[in-house]
């Protein structure tokens, strides 16, 4: 190859390498934003295995998002998400407010623990309330988001109540799907990352307590209900089936149709934001 052709090839490759490098750096910035936002929202370390963004196509994917347990609890994490994908308005990707058409999250596992010393969900909810009241700390100013639709599929929950290290009650709850819409539309310019992540966690916990009110231990229902009442409301819709096992026994639960909750369970969850986005008195 002649010297002239080599120079021309280098000149042509430079923009390609610069763009590739910029995209890699963009992934690094986005990964940090998610981790810092989650840590700021929940008050516990949040980590992400990987993120891949394609600004040209307006697409993004994440793998392995984990919200750690507060100190002193046994399970390896509070929540862990297997994977997620987002579709964004291409024209908004490089602006201050990103318009996200959809976020689809799949394979979310949650561990709820209650013991004589306390409950991991109570610590998380208290951290979230403090953040809402005082503003999150440690999160750098960054982009805001307007999200049209969020879908969380395949939610699996393990709820344990223990005394002196001995489990008294174990419940496994599965929710096929929950849907949130128009996140950030009530604000002037959308929500920051910590607010977006906090909203998703609130939605998942709301679905757990409302759909699992008949099978979860009463002390857990009461604790979740009280903690969620202290936070801003979030309207969600449950789609598909809800199933549960108490110990090794399968039991009937509410399911996505949203039958009325009665008795003590209704009192515990009243006021945390209607499962279909309606008024509390409708449930």
Q: Pick the closest to residue 150 from 173, 125, 184 (CA basis).
A: 184
Q: What percent of the chain has pLDDT over 90?
A: 52
- Token pair for 269: 């969850």
Question: What are the residues facing 172 on neighbouring strands?
Answer: 158, 245
What integer pLDDT is reported at residue 283 of this predicted model? 36
pLDDT at 55: 80
Residue with tokens 């308005």: 89
**How far does CA 136 lie from the centroid of its chain?**
17
Q: Where are the domains of the chain?
A: 3-282
Per-residue confidence of the chain (283 residues) as pLDDT tens digits? 565 554 444 444 444 433 444 444 578 888 999 999 999 999 999 999 999 988 888 899 999 999 999 998 988 899 999 999 999 998 888 788 999 999 999 999 999 999 888 999 999 999 999 887 776 555 555 789 999 999 999 999 999 987 655 666 789 999 999 999 999 887 667 899 999 999 999 999 999 999 999 899 899 999 999 999 988 778 899 999 999 998 878 877 755 544 433 344 444 444 444 332 333 333 3
Other Cβ atoms closer than 10 A to 264: 12
pLDDT for res 48 = 96
pLDDT at position 23 is 45
> In Å, what is the CA distance from 283 to each residue of 76, 174, 274?
35, 21, 7
22-59 per-residue burial string, b: 16 or more CB within 10 A, e: under 16: eeeebbeebbebbbbbbbbbbbbebbbeebbbeeeebe
Cβ 115 vs Cβ 146: under 8 Å: no
């Amino acid at each position: 190859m002649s010297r002239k052709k080599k120079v021309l090839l280098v000149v042509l490759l430079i923009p390609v390498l610069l763009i590739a490098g910029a995209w890699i750096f963009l992934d690094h910035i986005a990964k940090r934003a998610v981790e810092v936002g989650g840590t700021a929202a929940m008050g516990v370390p949040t980590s992400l295995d990987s993120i891949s963004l394609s600004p040209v196509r307006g697409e993004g994917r994440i793998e392995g998002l984990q919200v750690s347990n507060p100190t002193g609890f046994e399970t390896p994490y509070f929540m862990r998400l297997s994977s997620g994908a987002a579709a964004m308005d291409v024209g908004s990707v490089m602006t201050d407010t990103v318009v996200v058409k959809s976020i689809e999250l799949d394979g979310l596992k949650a561990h709820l623990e209650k013991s004589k010393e306390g409950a991991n969900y109570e610590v998380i909810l208290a951290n979230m309330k403090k953040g809402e009241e005082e503003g999150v700390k440690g999160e750098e100013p960054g982009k805001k988001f307007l999200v049209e639709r969020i879908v969380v599929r395949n939610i699996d929950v393990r709820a344990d109540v223990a005394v002196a290290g001995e489990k008294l009650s174990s419940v496994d709850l599965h929710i096929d799907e929950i849907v949130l819409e128009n996140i950030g539309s009530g604000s002037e310019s959308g929500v920051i990352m910590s607010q977006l992540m906090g909203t998703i966690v609130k939605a998942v916990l709301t679905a757990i307590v409302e759909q699992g009110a008949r099978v979860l231990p009463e002390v857990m229902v009461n604790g979740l209900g009280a903690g969620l009442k202290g936070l801003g409301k979030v309207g969600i819709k449950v789609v598909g089936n809800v199933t549960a096992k108490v110990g090794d026994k399968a039991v009937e639960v509410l399911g996505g149709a949203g039958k009325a909750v009665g008795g003590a369970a209704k009192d515990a969850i009243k006021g945390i934001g209607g499962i279909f986005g309606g008024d509390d008195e409708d449930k």
